[in-house]
Amino acid sequence: MTLLYKILLSYERLSKFSLFTLTLVRNEFANSSRSSVYGFWFYFQWLRTPNSRKEKRIQIRTLGHRGRQGFTLVELIVTVAVLAIIASIATPAILNQLASMEAKRIKNQLESALRLAKAESLIRRQNVLVCLSNAAGRCDRDSDKILLLFIDSNGNNHFDAQVDFLLSQQTLNLKYGKLKLRVGNERHYTKFWGNSGTPRGHFGHIKYCPIATYSQAMYQISFNQTGIIKQKLNEDHPTECNK
């Protein structure tokens, strides 16, 4: 027990010495070497005084609080420099993660919309059109603002709010990529037929292409003659975003 007590006492004194040294370096760095030596001598004399341990702890805390009253200009500059380095390292990874999250979100939106169009065409026994649009219901192969699902009552292959029946309208909010709809005969829409629930003669795919250099997300959401909807990754099936 005596040996254990001595070891614990040694650790206590070592911790006190470390705390006192840090406080001394912070507050007395600008002083001469003579005052620093005097400070260490004062510390050892202080340890030998008969004050209780509780009183010494209070004195150490007081010294520590006095040493933490503010920051020097050098400390501020170093802190800002370290934060700038961390930000420069972390920013590309964060942007890449955001681009990846957008690509997954758009994939889910496209697949859900195409499945909804297939189901609605069968349930309603009416043709359902799916297209990409920028504004005013005008469908375009390279639009990427809005995803429309509607029943084209007047047969002009565009959505007219006063005539056609809107089934779904989704705002895509693309920031890191763009979409391209590619259907046979350069159509700007795809059609799910009401008598079969398939895009017969209107099969194709929607491409997701990155616009940011740090994004690697690139794929196609395809829909074939039988209405099967599938994601095709660029590694397995070249997306060819330049087309």
Q: Domain-by-domain residue ranges, the chain? A: 2-70, 100-233
**What is the CB neighbour count within 10 angstroms for residue 10?**
10
What pTM was estimated for this model as a whole? 0.66
Cβ neighbourhood burial of 63 (10 Å; 0-12, 13-18, 19+):
middle
**CATH class entry, domain 100-233:** alpha beta
pLDDT digits (tens, 9 = 90+) for 5-51: 343 344 444 444 444 444 544 454 444 444 444 444 445 455 555 55
Are 109 and 95 spatial neighbours (Cβ–Cβ below 8 Å)? Answer: no
pLDDT tens digits, 96-149: 889 999 999 999 999 999 999 999 999 999 999 999 998 778 999 999 899 999
Residue 208 to residue 200: CA distance in whole angstroms: 23
